[in-house]
Structure 1
Amino acid sequence: MLYFDFNATTPLADEVIESIKDALTVGWGNPSSKYDAGLQARMLIEEARNNVAACIGAASRDIIFTSGGSESNNWVIYSAVENYEASCISRSESGETYRKPHIVTTTVEHDSISAPLQALENKGKADITKVPINKTIGEIVPSDVVAAIQPNTCLVTIMMANNETGTIMPIREISSAVRRIENKLSSSIMIHTDAAQAIGKIPVNVNELGVDCLTLAGHKFYGPRIGALYVKNLNNKTFHPFILGGGQENGWRAGTENTPMIVGLGKAAALVRDYLNDYTVAMEDSRDYLEIKMAEIFGNKNITFNCKSPNKLPNTCNVSILGKGLEGYKVVKNAKGFCCSTGSACHSGNCEPSKILLSFHVGKDVARNAIRISTGRHTNRKQIDSLVMELRKVVDDLKTTVEKE
């Protein structure tokens, strides 16, 4: 079975597996303990923190380890709201009228952003504005983000790269635009980007992006299923703990640290730091070859690629094979030699068109036929050839079935 769903998850790199094995042996102590076994575990964790920080151009003191991308995203949202509430308490003494916190996001975010935002809105605890994708360029336009900002806006959260189409958003330009408008407001705005799909595929530097917070998810770049959160100037009292207890992670996140998985995440980040260009070139080569072969086998008139922006991840191909009875879930279901996704991995098997693709202005019939093929670091052209040839057979069989009905 050939694997073409690297946007959903990646296997552990061999070096990551070895680092985890070593940590299980030498890092078994409680990192909060002061004896040798605990100090050894603490040393491994801090080395991993340094590696994660170096991967994104951050200071190690601004990195917190989390259970994964969903926790990191939820944490940023609830911390931004809590910080806004705290600032409102101080401002109320001057007679200012209270307004609910306002958050700006997009129509194409991952559920770990959109779901907690929807929950806050449903409970009347926040107002949410979702900026749509510009139909002409297929991206979020910075001026549209600025237009959505209100005096009570406390957070702008926009993903760095979309998991379904691979579209890369102009985060640096958005950050700059928000900072300019922020200077005219009486309160500060936290800027966050979910970079889960970007790490390990394209360069990510928090200073160049100009963000306050950034989410990492290890299993997206050949690491374990834990995550990390970058918070600029973490100790400036504008961020708030999410899990309370024993004071681990310098008091930011309670719970005894999962040393082996943290070590594995650090090793995965170090690999990205050292070999990113090689990874990018390899993935782009396989993705470009895939698109060439798709056009060659099916004909340009019979397929459409659903990422309309030239700014896209090097490994992601969201493609629709046009025709009745060629819905993406049917194509994936009937494939025996490869696996890929019908869109967001969180909704695989859903017969309805992807809401994300519809938000990217992909027509309903085209979106219904979409499959997402995402390549990895070691995907080769021989594997691509096998994929395309089986796709051809699956499509022919489905067409025959339609003709018989």
Structure 2
Amino acid sequence: MQKIYFDNAATTPLDPKVIKSMIDHLQNNFGNPSSTHDFGRKAKAVVETARKNIAKYLNCQASEVIFTAGGSEADNLILYNAVKNLGVKRIISSSIEHHAVLHTIDMLHKDFGIEKEFLSIDSEGEISYEELETKLKSSNTKTLVSLMQVNNELGNILDIDRVCKICKAAGAYFHSDTVQGIGHVNLDLKETPIDFIAASAHKFHGPKGVGFAVVKKGHIIKPILHGGEQEMGSRAGTENTHSIAGLNMALSLAMDHFEEDKAKLLELKEYFINSIVREIPEVSFNGLSADIDRSAPHILSVRFPIDKPMLLFNLDLKGIATSGGSACQSGSSKGSHVLAAILNENEAKHTSVRFSFSRFNTKKEVDLVIKELSTIIAK
């Protein structure tokens, strides 16, 4: 049975070049980056080379890059510091953010009494930029706005330049979880001077357990992990050298082949859309995921015309990996907070599935998946 992986928004397979790089560093570069001898200096060089490379691709300063254990830690580090060290008393966000942001906001509200406000979300999963402006003008309270660049379930792309301008005009900080955007959507931190971003290597064919935060120069960052002075005093713990090397290789591959990969993914996504509409005409698409110009090229959220609780399970039996989005699906106890925010009562009863693609997927795989879907839905 052929295995087909269409769940790349959850995690991506490691690129073979990333694996090769990591094995090389595991075998030959095992020194502690904090050690002053030759072994340590070589390991330190790996870390700092990666830091400089990230800064080059994102057009920021190397000193603004802090390595973390992934996107969730980066979000936590940023939000916690905004409240503890930058004097933020209010956070404005949306109800369809990743839980790494939403749960952290809840914690900060509970433990520190910060105000939390959420923007309205329309049926397409879009915020109101006018409402954001109004909320920022309504109070002189020191505020952080936290809105993700690409929604991980819908693929909607935030107008990040517009949000940045609104925040700057109001004197508010702007944090964006860019975990789903890095490697898929353009981001230039000089042209769009966001205060904070979070990223994770395993979303662009790098290893799990490593990511980074970018914190604009001048913002005070103190560690939430204690016990060492690594990462310029922002995070304690010996740097994960081989994983940072893997991140560096993965990001280089993603950015050096950005236009080529984007074109391939867009072609694959359009092919999937046309194929599924042809075979199952009653399908709908959640959010803006089927809008090629306003959604990320690798994410497509499909809503089927019926309730099919075992759809994911049946696809898995056929060797097809995807992610679910509605409460009725097998293995989902709470359902999707994102879909709950945008679907009406009738739409929410229907089964939704997120298909997400990578540069390793093919049209042949799409054909096989559509064939299986047609058979399962028809039963």
Task: Decide: shared fold, TM above 0.5.
Answer: yes
Provide Cα deviations, 1:123-163, integer angstroms capped at 9, x if missing partner: 3521100112234x642232221222231133111000000
CA distance in structure 2 between the partners assigned to 1:132 and 1:338 by the alignment: 35
Match of 1:262, SS state, is helix
2:134 alignment partner in structure 1: 147
Query: Could you tell me which amino acid in structure 2 is paired with residue 166 of structure 1?
Result: G
Change (3 A) 1:272 1:55: farther
2:159 alignment partner in structure 1: 170
Query: Could you tell me which amino acid in structure 1 is paired with residue 169 of structure 2?
Result: R
The structure with more radius of gyration: 1
1:265 aligns to 2:247 (yes or no)? yes
Kept after mapping to 2: 8 A contact 1:155/1:192: yes
1:196 alignment partner in structure 2: 179
Kept after mapping to 1: 8 A contact 2:199/2:211: yes
Match of 1:207, SS state, is coil
Kept after mapping to 1: 8 A contact 2:221/2:234: no
Residue 289 of structure 1, CA deviation: 0.4
Match of 1:64, SS state, is strand
State which of 247, 252, 275 in structure 1 corresponds to 2:229: 247
CA distance in structure 1 between the partners assigned to 2:331 and 2:155 by the alignment: 20
State which of 232, 253, 258 in structure 1 corresponds to 2:216: 232
2:104 alignment partner in structure 1: 116
Query: Could you tell me which amino acid in structure 2 is paired with residue 380 of structure 1?
Result: T
Kept after mapping to 2: 8 A contact 1:51/1:267: no
Change (3 A) 1:40 1:142: same
1:97 alignment partner in structure 2: none
State which of 281, 306, 318 in structure 1 corresponds to 2:286: 306
1:76 alignment partner in structure 2: 78
1:334 alignment partner in structure 2: 314
Query: Could you tell me which amino acid in structure 2 is paired with residue 363 of structure 1?
Result: N
CA distance in structure 1 between the partners assigned to 2:34 and 2:173 by the alignment: 31
Match of 1:277, SS state, is helix
CA distance in structure 1 between the partners assigned to 2:76 and 2:11 by the alignment: 20
Change (3 A) 1:141 1:42: same
1:14 alignment partner in structure 2: 16
Match of 1:52, SS state, is helix
1:210 aligns to 2:210 (yes or no)? no
Kept after mapping to 1: 8 A contact 2:222/2:233: no
Change (3 A) 1:248 1:84: closer
1:363 alignment partner in structure 2: 344
CA distance in structure 1 between the partners assigned to 2:110 and 2:256 by the alignment: 44
Residue 315 of structure 1, CA deviation: 1.4
Query: Runs in 1 of length 4+ with deviation above 3 angstroms?
Result: none
Residue 353 of structure 1, CA deviation: 4.5
* TM-score, L = length of structure 1: 0.86
Query: Could you tell me which amino acid in structure 1 is paired with residue 252 of structure 2?
Result: A
Match of 2:190, SS state, is helix
2:93 alignment partner in structure 1: 105
Match of 1:121, SS state, is helix
CA distance in structure 2 between the partners assigned to 1:33 and 1:26 by the alignment: 16
Kept after mapping to 2: 8 A contact 1:26/1:40: no
Query: Could you tell me which amino acid in structure 1 is paired with residue 308 of structure 2?
Result: L
1:315 alignment partner in structure 2: 298
Provide Cα deviations, 1:151-184, integer angstroms capped at 9, x if missing partner: 11331110000000100011110110111122xx
Structure 1 residues 307-316 or 166-175, which shifts more? 307-316
Residue 207 of structure 1, CA deviation: 2.0
Count of aligned pairs: 366
Kept after mapping to 1: 8 A contact 2:5/2:321: yes
Structure 1 residues 59-68 or 350-359, which shifts more? 350-359
Provide Cα deviations, 1:13-70, integer angstroms capped at 9, x if missing partner: 1111111011112220111111110000011111111222222222111101000111
CA distance in structure 1 between the partners assigned to 2:111 and 2:216 by the alignment: 29
1:181 alignment partner in structure 2: 170
Change (3 A) 1:64 1:190: same
Match of 1:206, SS state, is coil
Structure 1: 5+ residue stretches without partners: 86-99, 183-188, 398-405
Query: Could you tell me which amino acid in structure 2 is paired with residue 165 of structure 1?
Result: L
Kept after mapping to 1: 8 A contact 2:313/2:330: no
Change (3 A) 1:273 1:54: farther
CA distance in structure 1 between the partners assigned to 2:261 and 2:330 by the alignment: 26
Kept after mapping to 1: 8 A contact 2:152/2:180: yes
CA distance in structure 1 between the partners assigned to 2:203 and 2:337 by the alignment: 22
Query: Could you tell me which amino acid in structure 1 is paired with residue 177 of structure 2?
Result: D
CA distance in structure 2 between the partners assigned to 1:61 and 1:107 by the alignment: 32
Kept after mapping to 2: 8 A contact 1:159/1:195: yes
Match of 2:377, SS state, is helix
Query: Could you tell me which amino acid in structure 2 is paired with residue 168 of structure 1?
Result: I
Provide Cα deviations, 1:322-358, integer angstroms capped at 9, x if missing partner: 02x424xx211111231100039xx982155522012
